[in-house]
Structure 1
Amino acid sequence: MVVIREWVNWLTVLSLLVMIFTLPFSKSSVEICFVIALTLWALKRLLFRKPYTYFAPSLKQILSYPNLPIYLFVLANFISIFRSASLALSLKGLFFKLLESVFLYFILAETINDRRKLNAVLVTMALSMLLIGADGIFQYMTTVGDFLRKYPQAGRITASFSSSNGFGGWLIIMLPLLFGIFYAGKNNKPKKAISVILWFLIGVLMICLAGVLITCLVLTRSRGAWAGLAFAVIFLMVVKKNRIFLIIIVLIPLALLIATPFFIHMYLSAGSQDFLFFIKKNLVLIMQNIDIVRTNLWREALLIIRDFPIFGCGLNTYSIVAPHYKSALQEAGIYPHNSYLQMAAETGIVGLSSFILVITSLFKVSITNMRKIKDTFYGYILVGLLTGLFAFLVHSFFDVNFYALQLVNLMWFVMGLIIAVQKIALKDEGA
């Protein structure tokens, strides 16, 4: 039975690996892999648990952080259904969006339970970075679009994502994780000569890959993603006061500075305009764009929150409620370009507060455990994941990442992986 259980575990892991690898370019693959992982996870519980504990977690598990806030978050979303503007849309959002993400979190946290499985996930994510980074550069350098989805760049690269902001959201999770993997490997240098050569070559490849991903981030021209990464650097300074991370803090702006000429080239002919005038002109245009479009959309969301303050207008109903709040002259955007405002509009202050509780609990537990973990491998991976998640959460203030299938699944995948890393590290160290 133990062998069968391990086989089921590895099949679940395999479905998760395919899911995270194909996530940037195949929504159908994400859905199929999730269904397979959920089925195997349920099968494992049916076969290898006592009848009264098939799916019911223990009281200790329910009351633990961040599990309890997650249950409260689901409850808040469920309650919002009873005052929903569309019961059908809310039920669809509950069962096919929210619960999918939450189950993904629990499956990750439970299934990735040793270092071999964790390494498999990290290698798969690194290979995905390599593929999507190459896709983004290919899209920028050619006129045929990216090679995975044939999306044209239209001045801002998207790689296989439908928007440059979506690509930016993916990049700012992956970049800190890549640095975490690099330094985790750096501190685990092998002793055999052949292994050392291979270790060195992989290190060089990862440095080149980091350069590719940073260049892609610049070429997305996603200001929200840039802001997310900038705030993540500050988070890193506060959480991990370490000379190595201070070097990273210097290297990232330096890399962005090196990539700046490519960014400028998209706007300027050589010597055609004064550079300072160019900066001033485009900053004004940026501010005007934010004032005219995004501020109006945020105001619209605030009006919905004013009318539905406690439990919102109903999960997954923003697109049908928002048109009633538009003026004749207002921009015709559907979503508010702010995940938190949309969440508050749909599920009220209760829903938004419960989500913030989920995030703060996750970071509180993770930072506490990070200081207990002595193995630098797990420490660097955990820091990379937390930093990427923090960047993503900041970026979500400027976009609707929580409502994009690929990005919200990536967020909950990373959250589950954060818990899994801690459990593995503390188990290995006997804590």
Structure 2
Amino acid sequence: MNLIWQRFTLSHFPIKEYLNSSYLHRFLVGLLHSWRQGSVLIRWGDTIAAGLLSLVYALAPFASSALIGVLLFACVGFWLLLTLSDEPAPAQASLFTPIHLLVFLYWGIAAVATALSPVKKAALNDLLTLTLYLLLFVLCARVLRSARLRSWIITLYLHVSLIVSIYGMRQWYFGAPPLATWSDPESAFSKTTRVYSYLGNPNLLAGYLLPAVVLSLVAIFVWQSWFKKALALTMLIVNTACLIFTYSRGGWIGLVVAILTVMVLLFYWWSVQMPPFWRTWSLPIILGGLIGVLLLAIIFVEPVRLRFFSIFADRSDSSNNFRRNVWDAVFEMIRDRPIIGIGPGHNAFNKIYPLYQHPRYSALSAYSILLEVAVETGFVGLACFLWLIIVTFNTAFLQLRRLRESMNIEGFWLIGAFATLLGMLAHGTVDTVWFRPEVNTLWWLMVALIASYWTPLKQGQSPELNSPDPQPAAN
């Protein structure tokens, strides 16, 4: 059974053999290698790539989607230049992981869905957008293999998110007019301020801040000086407060899932060093305390109580009723094209959805990641997407286990990426912000962060922890 799981998750996938047998890889990689040897600029290729990525993550909350698209084009173009001038295989085999393989497989399925789409022109436009995001992942995975560049990009994002959160807290304190009808005007909650900061939408802001909350939490353990730890704690408090004041129910669900995941993984990280009592009771105490805080907030804070119980109000809540009507139409779309879908992107969705929509319930997407993937690429694409998620989580856990052997503090970033992805999936199950560039670029950054730690297991090597009592490594 263990062997089947390892094969399913590609734990022993022979990367070097695969690359050596790939005609495309052998033809493209190293094509301009001789030019690279004489180029002064390209020797700093990864640093320049990190600069381009920094522009993406620094400007994402403030810039238009068009500008972000231009920056993504620049990132993809520079990645292509780096790839063509790389060392030929197998020297660069470590840059290709099982996660890359499934990302490219998903792109291939999306391309087939585009070719078979009833609205090919609309689907082709969004296939290009999907390609930009997937190649952004490839460039991120390459750059983040450097611990220095990894630290820089994470730190940059955390500082930008702090600016976004501070402005959001200002809106909460002074008030902010809603830019759209996010709440039922007849409900008791309608007078409560929902912050949206620079992103213009509280649900989108919650999706953007979720990785910041998790990464600022683990940064407390990664950053060494007391000043940096205090900064990380400040980021954690401000980002968490701002996310809460979005009153995004999907964001709250994602936050709870992410924090619980962090608690479990931190317990796993330290469990080998704990005395027997704390090894048994620390996790129940922490989880019990967290649940207690949530219950107190629900009981004594009226806006939290109203938003919480609205989750279970079914169709009596206007937002729930809207989603239910959209989902009913989406299920009909999936029923009619279950195998390969209608093609990727919201343009294709906007062409097909009006044929199925219920009166007065127009929508730009399926309001759920899994339903959207099923609509766009059918059950074939959904199966590949779920396979990609499983392989990513399995890779994260195996590399976390490896880093725990030496108590390498880099493992905390893995914990953060793992928890963030799970939280974003929980949020995206009931919302559509995952497909917006501010959030989608962060999703692929987290996947790339996990891929950047990947090291292949040799045939016959067990993924089990080898050392029952690892000693901390000097950092």
Same topology, TM > 0.5: yes
**Counterpart for residue 166 of structure 1:** 204
Could you list the per-position Cα deviations for residues 223-274 of structure 1 after superposition, in whole angstroms to 9, with x for gaps in the alignment? 111112222334345544256995875776677678779963x69xxxxxxx
Give the structure 2 partner of residue 77 of structure 1. 110
1:184-203 matched pairs, under 5 angstroms: 184-185=222-223, 189=224, 199-203=225-229
- Once the two structures are superposed, residues 292-332 of structure 1 have per-residue CA deviations (whole angstroms, 9 ceiling, x without a partner) of 2211111111110000000012222111111111233x533
Is 2:56 aligned against 1:19? yes
Relative to structure 1, the CA distance from residue 407 to residue 259 in structure 2 (aligned partners, 3 Å threshold; closer, same or farther) is same
The offset of 1:162, in angstroms, is 2.8
CA deviation after TM superposition for structure 1 residue 13, in Å: 0.5
Structure 1 gaps of 5+ residues are 147-152, 190-198, 268-274, 424-428
Paired position in structure 1 for 2:235? 209
More divergent stretch after superposition (244-253 vs 27-36): 244-253
CA distance in structure 1 between the partners assigned to 2:250 and 2:134 by the alignment: 25
Q: SS of the residue aligned with 1:377?
A: coil
State whether structure 2 residue 202 is matched by structure 1 residue 176. no
**AA aligned opposite 2:112:** I
Shift of residue 179 of structure 1? 1.0
CA contact (8 A) 2:214 2:259 kept: no
Residues 1:90 and 1:367: Cα distance change in structure 2 (over 3 Å) = same
2:340 matched to which residue of 1?
311
1:331 and 2:365 matched: no
Alpha-carbon shift at residue 342 of structure 1 (Å)? 1.5
> Residues of 1 paired with 2:307 and 2:436: CA distance?
32
Check conservation: 2:424, 2:434, Cα contact below 8 A: no
Q: Structure 1 stretch 31-40 or stretch 303-312: which is displaced more?
A: 31-40
Amino acid at match of 1:128: V
Q: Deviations over 1:350-386 (max 9, x none)?
A: 1111111111111111101110112432111110111
Question: Once the two structures are aligned, what percentage of the paired residues are identical?
Answer: 21
**Which residue type is aligned with residue 331 of structure 2?**
L
Task: State the match for 2:83 in structure 1.
Answer: 45
The 8 Å contact of residues 173 and 388 in structure 1, kept in 2 or not, is answered as yes
Q: Using structure 2 for the length normalisation, give the TM-score.
A: 0.73
Task: Tell me, yes or no, if structure 1 residue 120 matches structure 2 residue 152.
Answer: yes
Post-superposition shift, 1:143?
4.5
Q: Are the structure 2 counterparts of residues 167 and 212 from structure 1 closer, same or farther at C-alpha, using a change threshold of 3 Å?
A: same
The 3 A distance-change label for structure 1 pair 287 and 210 is farther
Structure 1 residues 213 and 286: alpha-carbon distance in aligned structure 2, compared to 1, 3 A threshold: farther
**Aligned-pair CA distance for 1:405:** 2.1
8 A Cα contact 2:247 2:307, kept in partner = no
Relative to 1, partners in 2 of residues 1:356 and 1:113: Cα closer, same or farther, differing over 3 Å? same
* 1:288 and 2:316 are equivalent in the alignment: yes
Tell me the SS of whatever aligns to 2:267: coil
2:112 and 2:222 map into 1 onto residues whose CA distance is 43
| Counterparts in 2 of 1:45 and 1:331: CA distance versus 1, 3 Å | closer
Q: What is the CA-CA distance between 1:285 and the residue it aligns to?
A: 5.2
Match of 1:416 in 2: 448
Residues 135/249 of structure 1: CA separation in 2 closer, same or farther (3 Å cut): farther
Structure 2 Cα separation of the partners of residues 390 and 282 of structure 1 = 23
- Structure-1 residue corresponding to 2:418: 386
Alpha-carbon contact 2:100-2:138 (below 8 Å) kept: no
Bigger shift: residues 391-400 or 318-327: 318-327
Tell me the equivalent position of 1:320: 351
Question: Secondary structure at the residue paired with 1:220?
Answer: coil
- The reply on whether 1:229 has 2:260 as its aligned counterpart is no
- Number of residue pairs matched by the alignment: 389
SS of match in other structure, 1:37: helix
Over 3 Å counting, the alpha-carbon distance change for 1:173 and 1:253 in structure 2 is farther
| Aligned twin of 1:142 | 174
CA distance in 2, matches of 1:216, 1:280: 17
- Does residue 399 of the first structure (1) align with residue 428 of the second (2)? no
Q: Note the C-alpha offset of 1:5.
A: 3.5
| CA displacement at 1:335 relative to structure 2 | 2.5
Contact 1:177 1:381 in 2 (8 A): yes
| Residues 231-240 or 251-260, more deviating | 251-260
Q: Aligned pair in 2 of structure 1 residues 411, 111: CA closer, same or farther (>3 Å)? A: same
Deviation at 1:8, TM superposition (A): 2.3
C-alpha separation in 2, matches of 1:155 and 1:286: 23
Against the structure 1 CA distance between its residues 379 and 280, is the aligned structure 2 distance closer, same or farther, given a 3 Å change threshold? closer
For residue 373 of structure 2, what is the aligned residue in structure 1? 343
User: Could you say if the C-alpha distance between residues 48 and 334 of structure 1 is closer, same or farther in structure 2, counting changes exceeding 3 Å?
Assistant: closer
- Describe the shift of the 1:387–1:248 C-alpha distance in structure 2 as closer, same or farther (beyond 3 A): farther
How far apart in 2 are the matches of 1:349 and 1:280?
Answer: 32
Partner of 1:35: 73
Aligned partner letter, 1:123: T
Q: Which amino acid aligns with 1:310?
A: I
Partner of 1:297: 326
Are the structure 2 counterparts of residues 253 and 20 from structure 1 closer, same or farther at C-alpha, using a change threshold of 3 Å?
farther
C-alpha separation in 2, matches of 1:228 and 1:82: 35
What is the Cα-based RMSD across aligned positions, in Å?
Answer: 3.3
Other-structure match for 2:401:
371
Compared CA separation, residues 284 and 100, structure 1 to 2 (3 A): closer
Shift of 1:421: 4.0
What SS is found at the alignment partner of 1:203?
Answer: helix
- The answer to which structure has the higher helix fraction is 1
Q: Judge conservation of contact 1:84–1:313 (CA < 8 Å) in 2.
A: yes
Residue range with higher mean Cα deviation, 412-421 or 301-310: 412-421
Return the alpha-carbon distance in structure 1 between the equivalents of residues 59 and 308 of structure 2: 40
**Counterpart residue type for residue 231 of structure 2:** L
Q: Find the aligned partners of 1:355 and 1:372 in 2 and give their Cα distance.
A: 26
Query: Which residue of 2 is the match for residue 195 of structure 1?
Result: none
